Amino acid sequence: MRFEEFAKSHGLIMRDIIPFKWVATPTVDHPRSGNGRYKFMGDVGWVQNWATMEKPVMWNSGEKNAISSQFQKAKDESFRQREELASKASAKAGWIMHQTNLLPHPYLEKKGFPDERMSVWDSVEGENRLVIPMRRDGKIVGCQLINGEGEKKFLYGQTTKGASFCIDAKGTPIFCEGLATGLSIQAIMRANKIRYSVYVCFSAGNMKEVSSRIPNGIIVADNDPSGVGESIAKATGKPYWLSETVGEDFNDYHQRVGLFVSSQSLKRLFY
């Protein structure tokens, strides 16, 4: 099986293959986002669909060829280019944040927070986008951009592994995937006067990465139909919350059952 066929069998929508580096790509279940990724090294490769896979799976051509000096040179050049792209993305994220204003946003209203004000950027496309800065080791490495319809994207070339958005930093670490879930957790913690540090991690796999760097805390997982959210939560070894309804995250649950019931459900993890 060729690498392209292997990737498609796992739900990735393939275009031109870019070798030697991790490349984000759309998936069949998320055709408008970079919810898949691959890395092609010539005789071996890896693919991952974030919606259905906890970790990448490997493809092997079956040919055992030694890496030539030319191939190694290409790998080194690819690494240099990745570092350059990451640096540019970091700088662009900082520039975008300086262009934002604290405003309400249609996405926030849709998720149950019409009065919430966050960083909004009037982008060159003429669309007001919610901007969520992503930091690793205190340094901004990129950002997530969300339009009014909820479509999300990252900056080209940015570092995402280990990056997060922290809401307050004064108490129990709580790790989740998305911004809306983070805001629902914040509302619950405020209502119960419990100190918290909510880490929005942007994906299940990255939630495992971020939480591994911080001791203690709890996981608030999405109940994905694939089971990835629960699998990641268990793998962290931390206490975790999961909706009883498949396809529901904590923000969905919060909006469905209200503040009191969702508060009681989440508070059980603290005692």
Q: What is the pLDDT of residues 106-154, one digit of tens each?
A: 999 999 999 999 999 987 667 899 999 999 999 999 999 999 999 999 9
Residue with tokens 């089971």: 227
User: So where are the chain's domains?
Assistant: 3-60, 164-271
d(CA 235, CA 10): 22
Tell me the mean pLDDT in the region 57-70.
68
- Helix axis angle for 250-257 and 259-267, nearest 10°, is 130
Residue 92: closest CA among 168, 182, 159, 2: 159
Contact 111, 180 (CB under 8 A): yes
**Any residues with CB less than 8 A from the CB of 147 and at least 6 apart, and which?**
107, 127, 128, 129, 130
DSSP letters of 3-49? HHHHHHHTTB---S--BTS-EEE-BSSSTTTT-EEEEE-SSEEEEEE
Contact 146, 80 (CB under 8 A): no
**φ, ψ for residue 222, nearest 5 deg:** -85, 140
**Fold (CATH) for 164-271:** Rossmann fold (3.40.50)
The pLDDT confidence band at residue 29, using thresholds 50, 70 and 90, is confident
pLDDT, position 66: 44
For the chain, give the mean pLDDT: 91
d(CA 64, CA 145): 42
d(CA 116, CA 146): 15
The C-alpha torsion from 144 through 148 and 150 to 151, rounded to 10°, is -60
pLDDT, position 63: 63
pLDDT, position 43: 80
pLDDT, position 71: 60
pLDDT value at 270 more than 70: yes
The C-alpha torsion from 20 through 22 and 24 to 26, rounded to 10°, is 70
Which strands sit side by side in the sheet containing 57-60, from one edge to the other?
A: 23-25, 36-40, 44-49, 57-60
* Listed ranges 35-39, 145-149, 179-183; the one with the highest mean pLDDT: 179-183
